[in-house]
Amino acid sequence: MTAPGAGARHGGPAPSGGAALLLVNPTSGRGRGLRLLPRTAEALRSAGYRLEVSTTESLADATEQARRAPAGTLVAVLGGDGFLGAAATGAGESGAVVLPLAGGRGNDTVRRLGLALDPVKAVQSIDRLAVREIDLGLANGRPYLGVANVGFDGLANEYGNNARLNLGPFVYLYGGIKAFLEWKDVTFTVSVDGRETTFPGWFVAVGNVGQYGGGLRICPQAAADDGLLDVVSLGRATVLGVAATFLRSYRGGHLGQANISFARGSAVTISASKPLNLYADGERVAALPARMEIAPRAVRVLVPAGSAALS
């Protein structure tokens, strides 16, 4: 993965008028994207865009369609975090400009970037957004925008994804409670730019945008344009201690805990004493061991001025 070409880190204004592609994930948020599609498409047309709408068949399809978009054109992405990461991958190769729109359950990348959670309002504010070049994380070679994570929270993610109830962002809370009942301490080995540590613990999170789980600012200092990954780990803790950690993470106040470890680097490897799956942007990537890297300034994205996710 390479950057889409030369350009200032702070970029310029949003592409105005002209052709635009609206990618929609029909399964995101239990159909939220499809329900929002008509209003979102009308908002883009009202903003002066000649719009092509595509209801995608898969994450790979979203990547391919964004890859074929002409450089500099607008690709509006209506779906969840995993779908957004997939589309951003293709846009990074084509040089298209991504407009993230909240069409999933958690919508953590949209939240952290500071965009409106109502896609229509996000489109209506497009003239107040700016193009910024941001990084992509690579989890075993698979690009992601938000967080790659493994451990207790990954197990919670599995339960949340499989939940039959439509709980919106609270689906992650449901998954976490269920995972509490099954988790046993695991020994992790984590290397950040060659500095290796081994510890018994609960999770390891590798953040780019740095937010996941329906509002958990697990890597609160992460900047998605600094060419680095933030690595946050939770070591020994009681069940109540783990719960307190996640509650504090809604405000990003957990980094001061004695059992929280923090590091920053461009290459991270993780292994564990038991079989565990790595997730990135809520999508399962692979079983451990895994390697995370960074692709600096790899994709152009529309964001508000002063976005908390950027340096």
Report the catalytic residues.
Answer: 283
Q: Give the strands of the sheet with 283-287, arranged side by side.
A: 260-265, 229-234, 203-207, 147-151, 277-280, 283-287
- Taking each helix axis from N to C end, the angle separating 171-180 and 239-249, rounded to the nearest 10 degrees, works out to 160
Provide the 8-state DSSP code for 83. H
Rg of the chain over Cα atoms, rounded to whole angstroms, equals: 19
- Strand, coil or helix: 81: helix
Cβ neighbourhood burial of 194 (10 Å; 0-12, 13-18, 19+): exposed
Q: How far is CA 139 from CA 15, 41, 96, 114, 155, in A?
A: 30, 32, 23, 24, 17
Phi–psi pair at 297, nearest 5 degrees = 50, 50
In whole angstroms, what is the distance from residue 77 CA to residue 62 CA?
9
In whole angstroms, what is the distance from residue 219 CA to residue 262 CA?
9
In whole angstroms, what is the distance from residue 81 CA to residue 17 CA?
26
Q: Are 205 and 219 within 8 A, CB to CB? A: yes
In whole angstroms, what is the distance from residue 203 CA to residue 186 CA?
9
